[in-house]
């Protein structure tokens, strides 16, 4: 597959994906697209010899026009939003129906949007985690593909919880991409399913899944 990864910042999830590729867990060709020319993610792409492109973020219509042109040129099959800090338009999403996924640092549908870890701690909830879901016009509301869970301890701060959830993201996102490569992710009756999914320990090993 040809997969585009949209990024805006530090690129830790991007690095997890590219490391999985380097280790033989993932097979796709990856292309990185950023709306931030100073994103550390662009440096990470370079370190992994992965093609990377920057497009001006404003106006959004121009960014999306340039991105779509590149996606068509590279015959992109799927799009992964990995720390992409912008909202795609409904017209853009319609170009790739059920072909765009996002990773969000909460157990959706709880805590959509921003300031997730602060809100989770203040709410008193006992668990948080990461969610990979399909992207729709409504923010953080698409079909959920998979989630990973961590307890919220009494001593947790926004920073410690962020680190705990981020470590889950780095495992969860490559695993979901693997399932997509295998053609095992599908939507039925407005819900996402993974055919024959197994859950257990996670190394970068095709025989074991998260």
Range of the domain at 180: 2-194
Burial class (CB within 10 angstroms; exposed 0-12, middle 13-18, buried 19+) of 37: exposed
Q: What distances in angstroms separate CA 210 from CA 106, 120, 148, 149, 200, one per listed residue?
A: 17, 24, 9, 11, 5
Q: Per the domain annotation, does 75 fall within a domain?
A: yes
Q: Per the domain annotation, does 13 fall within a domain?
A: yes
Token pair in block for residue 86: 């912008």
What is the count of structural domains for the chain? 1
**What rounded mean pLDDT belongs to the chain?**
93
Q: Per the domain annotation, does 199 fall within a domain?
A: no
Average pLDDT value for residue range 80-106: 97
DSSP helix/strand/coil, 32: strand
Q: Per the domain annotation, does 208 fall within a domain?
A: no
Q: Which residues contact 182 (CB under 8 A, 6 or more apart)?
A: none
Q: Per the domain annotation, does 9 fall within a domain?
A: yes
Burial class (CB within 10 angstroms; exposed 0-12, middle 13-18, buried 19+) of 54: middle
Task: Dump pLDDT digits (tens) for 124-141.
Answer: 999 999 999 999 999 999
pLDDT, residue 15, reads 98
Task: Dump pLDDT digits (tens) for 171-193.
Answer: 999 999 999 999 999 999 989 99
- Answer whether 104's CB lies under 8 Å from 172's CB: no
Q: Identify the CATH number of the domain in which residue 189 sits.
A: 3.40.50.170
Handedness of CA 136, 74, 23, 181 (dihedral sign): positive
Q: Per the domain annotation, does 201 fall within a domain?
A: no
Q: What is the pTM of this model?
A: 0.92
Q: Per the domain annotation, does 74 fall within a domain?
A: yes
Q: Per the domain annotation, does 206 fall within a domain?
A: no
Token pair in block for residue 138: 């409504």
Active site residue 133: no
- Answer whether 107's CB lies under 8 Å from 147's CB: yes
Q: Which residues contact 84 (CB under 8 A, 6 or more apart)?
A: 6, 7, 8, 35, 102
* Of 38, 104, 117, 133, catalytic: 104
């Amino acid at each position: 597959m040809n997969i585009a990864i949209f990024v805006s910042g530090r690129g830790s999830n991007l690095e997890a994906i590219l490391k999985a590729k380097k280790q033989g867990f993932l097979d796709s060709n990856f292309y990185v697209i950023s709306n931030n020319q100073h994103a550390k993610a662009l440096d990470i792409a370079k370190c992994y010899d992965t093609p990377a492109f920057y497009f001006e973020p404003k106006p959004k219509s121009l960014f999306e026009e340039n991105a779509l042109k590149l996606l068509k040129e590279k015959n992109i099959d799927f799009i992964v939003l990995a720390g992409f800090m912008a909202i795609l338009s409904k017209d853009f999403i319609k170009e790739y129906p059920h072909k765009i996924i996002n990773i969000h640092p909460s157990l959706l549908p709880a805590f959509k949007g921003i300031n997730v870890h602060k809100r989770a701690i203040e709410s008193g909830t006992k668990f948080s985690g990461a969610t990979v879901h399909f992207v729709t016009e409504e923010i953080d509301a698409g079909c959920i593909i998979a989630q990973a869970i961590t307890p919220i301890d009494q001593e947790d701060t926004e920073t410690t919880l962020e680190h705990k959830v981020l470590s889950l993201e780095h495992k969860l996102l490559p695993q979901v991409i693997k399932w997509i490569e295998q053609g095992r992710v599908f939507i039925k009756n407005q819900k996402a399913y993974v055919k024959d999914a197994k859950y257990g320990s996670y190394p970068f090993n095709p025989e074991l899944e998260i």
